[in-house]
Amino acid sequence: MLEGIDLSLVNWSRGQFALTAMYHWIFVPLTLGLAIIIAIMETLYVKTGNPEWKRITKFWMTLFGINFAIGVATGIILEFEFGTNWSTYSWFVGDIFGAPLAIEGILAFFMESTFIAIMFFGWNKVSKGFHLTATWLTAIGANLSALWILVANGWMQKPVGMVFNPESARMEMINFWEVLFSPMAVHKFLHTTSSSFVLASIFVIGVSAWFILKGRDIAFARKSIVVAAIFGFMSSIYTVLSGDSSAREIAHHQPMKFAAFEGLYNGSEGAGLVALGLISTSETDPSNENLKDFTMKIEIPNILSYMAFMDWNAFVPGINDLIRGNEKYGVMSATEKIIRGKIAIEKLTAFKEAKKSGQVTVADSLKTEIMSPDFQKNYFNYFGYGYITDTHSLVPSVPLAFYSFHLMVVLGMYFILFFLMALYYTLKGKIHKHKLFLRAAMWTIPLAYIASQSGWVLAEVGRQPWVIQDLMPTMAAVTKISVGAVQVTFWLFAIIFTTLLIAEIKIMMRQIKIGPKSEGGTSHV
C-alpha cells in the first residue's frame, strides 16, 4: 500500500518540519506571555496614572515587537510546509484541519496586526483607555491564534467530530464544536499557553536581574520582577493542573505515548510513577519478554495509576500489553488492530472498484456498510493500522519521550520555587544582595526554553508513528518529492532561521543595554 515510499524522504520531511516548528516555538511562547505581562503593566499605568508604569510597559513592548516580527516569519513557512511537504495529509484531512488553520490566519493577521499597530504607534495619539484596549486585544488575539493551531494539533492527537466519506476518500467535519471543545485540544491549549506565560515571566525576571546586577534602573527592575513573579507563579500552578488533565487525556486516547513517556514496558495495577530514572539502552526491545526497562529508577508507588485513571489501583497498560494485547484487562493486540485496519482499507478499495466499474448497487451497499457506526467504530477507527507492517514500529522512541517528559517536569518544579524566591527577595528589598540568585535568574531563561521545547518533543515524538492518531501513519502523509529538494530546503531553512535567531538575540541585547527610556526618549540610568 505504501510501496515506493522512500523512508529517507519521510525522515528528511519530518526533520524539516521539526526544525521549522522548533525554531518557530522559540519565538511564540515569549510573544504569548509577554503580551499579557505588558497588558497587566499598562493596566497598572492607566489605573494608577504613575508614568513609571508607562516607561516599564514601553520597554517590554519594544522587546515584544522584536520577537513578534521574527516569530511571524517562521510561522508562515510552517503553514506552507503543510502543502509542500505534507500534501497527502492536507488532502486527506483538509476539510477539518483547514477550518481552525483559516481562523488562526484571520485572527493572527487581522486582529493582532490591527491592534498591534495601535499598541506600538498609538501612544499619545489615542486615549489611554483606547490604547489599553488595543494592548489587551493584541494579547488576546495572539493567544486566540495559538488556540486554533492547537485545536488542529489536538484533533491530530485525538480525531473527533468527523466522518470518513468513501466517495471522496477524505475525512469530513460534521461537528465543529466537538473539534473545538475536544478535551484533548482544550488541555493542550491551556497547558501550552500557560507554560508560555511561565517562559515569558522567566524572561522578564532574567532581564530585570541583569539590570540589578549592573546597579541601574533598580525600581524598574524590581517592579518588573514583582509582576512577572506573581504572574509566573500563578501560571506555573495552572500549568501543573492543565498538564495533569492533559496526561489523563493521553492515558485514555494515546496509551502508547503515555507508556513511552513513563518508560512503562509491562503494565500493572497500582503502577508507580518514575520520578527519576535511567532508561536501559541495551534491553528495551519489546520482543524481549525479560527486558530490563531501567538501569536505575526512583519510583513513587501507585501515582501513575492515579494520574491516568484517578484510581490508585487501576491497571495502566505498558508497551508490551499494547503490542501483544492483554485479554485480562481488555487491551487489544496490535496484530488485531492491523487486521481490522486492513479490512477497512479492503472495503474502501472494493467500493472504489465497484464505483469505477459502474456496479451501482454493490457500491451503494459498500458505502452504507462503511458509513455505518458499527463499521466506523470497529474497523475504520483502526484504518491507519492497515498500513503498519511491523508491530514494533508502533513504539515511539522511549528514551526521547521519557527524558523530554521528565526534564519538562523537573524544570517546571524548579520554576515554581524560582518565582517564589524572586518574589520573596524583591519584597524584602534584598534582591540586589543575592548576586548568585540574580545570575541564576539570567541562566534560567535558556532553561525555560529547554522545558518548553521538551514539551513539544514529547507531544510530537511520543505520538509516532502517527500523524493522525490511529488513522494515518506519518509515512503515508508525506509529499512524494525528491529527497534532494527536501535536503536543500532543510539546510536553507536551518541557515535562515539561525541567522534570524542570532539577529533577534543581538537586537534584543542592544535594546536591553539601552534600557527603559524616559518620556523624552533618553535612557534613564
For residue 96, what is its C-alpha cell? 477539518
Nearer to another protein, 353 or 519 (CB): 519
Residue closer to another protein, measured from CB, 37 or 331: 37
Give the three-state DSSP class for 59.
Answer: helix
Query: Judged by CB under 8 A, does residue 183 bind another protein?
Result: yes
Q: Are strands 466-468 and 315-316 parallel, antiparallel or unpaired?
A: unpaired
Going from the C-alpha of 91 to that of each of 14, 84, 164, 171, the distances in angstroms are 18, 12, 13, 9
Q: SS in 3 state form for 348-403?
A: HHHHHHHHHCCCHHHHHHHHHHHHCHHHHHHCHHHHHHHHCCCHHHHCCCHHHHHH
Site for another protein in 20-39 (CB under 8 A): 36
Query: Which residues are registered as beta bridge partners of 192?
Result: none
Grid coordinates representing 286 are 519489546
133: contact with another protein by CB under 8 A: no
Contact 179, 101 (CB under 8 A): no
DSSP per-residue letters across 80-99: HHHHHT-HHHHHHHHHHHHH
Residue 111 or 226 having the CB closest to another protein: 226
- Counting residues that bind another protein (by CB under 8 A) gives 37
Q: Determine if 193 is a binding residue for another protein (CB under 8 A).
A: yes
Beta strands, E only, 408-512:
466-468, 472-473
- Tell which one of 137, 186, 334, 400 touches another protein (CB under 8 A): 186
Smallest gap from Cβ 160 to another protein, in A, equals 11
**Of residues 85-104, which lie at the interface with another protein (CB under 8 A)?**
none
Tell me: does residue 194 bind another protein (CB under 8 A).
yes
C-beta closer to another protein: residue 187 or 340:
187
Binding mask of the shown chain, residues 222 to 261, with x at each position contacting another protein by CB under 8 A:
xx--xx--xx--xx--x---x--x----------------
Judged by beta carbon, residue 212 or residue 395, the one nearer another protein is 212
* Residue 202 near another protein by CB under 8 A: no
Least Cβ distance, residue 223 to another protein (angstroms): 5
Among 128, 170, 216, 252, which residue interacts with another protein (rule: CB under 8 A)? 216
Cβ nearer to another protein, comparing 312 with 437: 437
Of 180 and 319, CB closest to another protein: 180
**In angstroms, rounded to a whole number, what is the distance separating the alpha carbons of residues 401 and 257?**
8
Least distance (Å) from another protein to the CB of residue 133?
Answer: 15
Q: How many Cα atoms are found within 13 Å in the side-chain-facing hemisphere of 350?
A: 16
Cα dihedral sign, 219-508-514-55: negative
Q: Which of 4, 129, 215, 330 binds another protein (CB under 8 A)?
A: 215
Cα(422)–Cα(429) distance, rounded to whole angstroms? 11
Shortest CB 391 distance to another protein, Å: 34
From candidates 110, 130, 181, 491, binder to another protein by CB under 8 A: 181
Q: Are 247 and 258 in contact (CB under 8 A)?
A: yes
Binding residue (CB under 8 A) for another protein from 111, 218, 410, 421: 218
Q: Which residues, other chains included, contact 137 with Cβ-Cβ below 8 Å and sequence gap of 6+?
A: 111, 115
Q: Whole-number minimum distance, CB 455 to another protein, in Å?
A: 17
Burial 183-209 (b: 16+ CB within 10 A, else e): bbbbbbbbbbbbbbbbbbbbbbbbbbb
Q: Which stretch binds another protein (CB under 8 A): 43-51, 113-121, 339-347, 385-393?
A: 43-51
Residue 514, interface with another protein (CB under 8 A)?
Answer: no
Query: What's the closest the beta carbon of residue 436 comes to another protein, in angstroms?
Result: 12
CB of 113 to another protein, least distance (A): 22
Q: How far is CA 417 from the centre of its chain?
A: 24
Applying the rule CB under 8 A, the residues between 406 and 465 that interact with another protein are 426-429, 432, 435
Q: Which is nearer to another protein, 212 or 467 (CB)?
A: 212
179 contacts another protein (rule: CB under 8 A)? no
DSSP 1-20: --TT--HHHHHHHHHHHHHH
User: Where is 46: in which H helix or E strand?
Assistant: helix 7-48
Partner residues linked to 326 by β-bridges: 331
**Diameter of the chain measured on Cα atoms:** 84
| Closer residue to another protein, CB minimum distance, 30 or 476 | 30
Tell me which residues touch another protein (CB under 8 A): 36, 40, 43-44, 47, 177, 181-183, 186-187, 190, 193-194, 213-216, 218-219, 222-223, 226-227, 230-231, 234-235, 238, 242, 245, 426-429, 432, 435
